[in-house]
Structure 1
Amino acid sequence: METSSALWWLLVLGTFLMAGGVKGVTGMGLPTVAMGVLGALMPPALAASLLLLSSLVTNVLQLAGGGQLRPLWRRLWPMQLVAALGTLLASAWLAGGSAQGTVRLLGLALALYALVALLVRPVRVPPSLERVLSPLIGGITGVVTGVTGVFVIPAVPYLQSLALPRESLVQALGLSFTVSTLALAAGLAWHGALSLDHLLPSLLAVLPALVGMWLGQRLRRRISPTAFRIGFLVCLLLLGVELAWRG
């Protein structure tokens, strides 16, 4: 589909409106939804480049809202550093890998995340293990990010296992997503997959993402977050299976 067509623009902007809405309700999910939908319609490297600015803006807003950035950074910097390095190196696959293989891996990552979130009970990671687990989780997250453009596995389940207060967890997710977004942008640019031609659609995607995020935050007060989360994860699972099957 030509990037100059009205249908292409409608699909892109509609996707970011929906993805922003999911983030407004759940506190995450914008790049996951955007990569899942756009990855089925265009080369994954292009989809990843389009989500960078909207992901960065919404995650920085989420990061700035909790008031616990300094202690969270002191606690989580090993994870973030290794995640950034892993993303930089692994993004060579997303930039130059075959579209079919990347879409299949993207589908597997989405399906795996949905299954873990739906079926695996939350665990509690003791503080004594964080020094060992944080860099390991960061490295795996970086590789998954660089290969698929999705940075929720295994970072999100791990952060949820740290028993952080709700506001601190939301800010920790914002920190992790911001670092991963910046690292993915640097990796795609380093490997020649980030073009100035992508800047305008990526910039225009920020507005529907912010509108969707605002609408999602309003909707969160009116619906059951648990029911919405389950419905979202089921849809994500079906999308991931379809992508993995079709490749």
Structure 2
Amino acid sequence: MTEGLVSYLPLILATFLLAGLVKGVVGLGLPTISVGLLGLVMPPMQAAALLLVPSMVTNIWQLADGRNPWPMLRRLWPMLLGIVLGTLLLGGWLRGRDLAQASQWLGMALVLYAGLGLLAVRFHVRPAQEAWLAPLIGAATGALTALTGVFVIPAVPYLQAIGLEKDELVQALGLSFSVSTLALAASLGQRGELLQPALLGLSLLALVPALLGMAGGQWLRRRISAHLFKRCFFIGLLLLGAELSLRGVL
């Protein structure tokens, strides 16, 4: 498995550099871009295995802003628990199964996410609704994580809907992505062939361009329109998702 990946090493490094750059500018995008682009040349869950180390480290970087994470953790724990359970339960059920349409599912998830972003769709969740909605959102996010390796839908729209301030939203996204990454690692561990030492070594190597890209993105964020950049990001995701969705259909 990993021998074939070596031929894709330049693409892997370039992909994580771009994904880190986007995350540095808009605060998200690492899993969607990395798994989406690499999903063009390899199975999505193999791309997700390469994502593990860069995702975990960049999310910790995003969280390390000096604010206490416990208040947010107390608020979000039902959703986070749902993410873990959804990822592990569906991941366990998928073990040993051949997901021939995994790329199409990934493409549809990217199209949905990009469409919501381009249309500026905003939901509103009242505090009284969080108690029952948060676990369902978490479970759905976990299921899509186990299926596609991307953990933005529906967690990101939900977090945008519960009335968080800008800094709180960044912290909440960091927590959600960190828990999703750990749950994804555990799910891939259930499918032992997807979590080999050599593959983790490539994931560790991908951390370098991801960190360089994130640092560059944070520098760039102070000099460009984040709104315009995010719009370009969603258009790119829409095109990428459409390509993956239609692959094998046309």
TM-score range, shorter chain: over 0.9
Match among 3, 6, 9 for residue 4 of structure 1: 6
- Structure 2 counterpart of 1:239, which letter? L
Corresponding residue for 2:216?
215
- Structure 2 counterpart of 1:25, which letter? V
- Please tell me whether the aligned partners of residues 86 and 142 of structure 2 are also in contact (alpha carbons under 8 angstroms): yes
- SS of 1:205 mapped into structure 2: helix
The 4+ residue runs of structure 1 with deviation greater than 3 A are 92-100
Mapped to 2, the partners of 1:242 and 1:12 lie a distance apart of 19
- Please tell me whether the aligned partners of residues 79 and 136 of structure 1 are also in contact (alpha carbons under 8 angstroms): yes
Mapped to 2, the partners of 1:232 and 1:131 lie a distance apart of 32
Matches within 5 A, 1:20-59: 20-59=20-59
After superposition, the C-alpha distances for 1:72-96 in whole angstroms (9 at most, x for unaligned) are 0000001001111101122247664
Worse-matched range after superposition: 58-67 or 183-192: 58-67
- Please tell me whether the aligned partners of residues 19 and 212 of structure 1 are also in contact (alpha carbons under 8 angstroms): yes
Corresponding residue for 1:194?
195
Corresponding residue for 1:148?
148
Residue 62 of structure 1 deviates from its aligned partner by 0.9
- Structure 2 counterpart of 1:33, which letter? I
Corresponding residue for 1:17?
17
Matches within 5 A, 1:1-247: 2-5=4-7, 8-65=8-65, 67-92=67-92, 96-98=96-98, 100-192=100-192, 193-247=194-248
- SS of 2:150 mapped into structure 1: coil
Identity in percent: 55
**Aligned in 2, Cα 1:222/1:42: closer, same or farther, shift over 3 Å?**
same
> Structure 2-normalised TM-score?
0.94
Please list every run of 5 or more consecutive structure 2 residues that lacks an aligned counterpart in the other structure: none
How many positions carry a matched residue from both structures?
A: 245
Mapped to 1, the partners of 2:102 and 2:213 lie a distance apart of 27
Residue 99 of structure 1 deviates from its aligned partner by 5.2
- Structure 1 counterpart of 2:12, which letter? V
- Please tell me whether the aligned partners of residues 95 and 190 of structure 2 are also in contact (alpha carbons under 8 angstroms): no
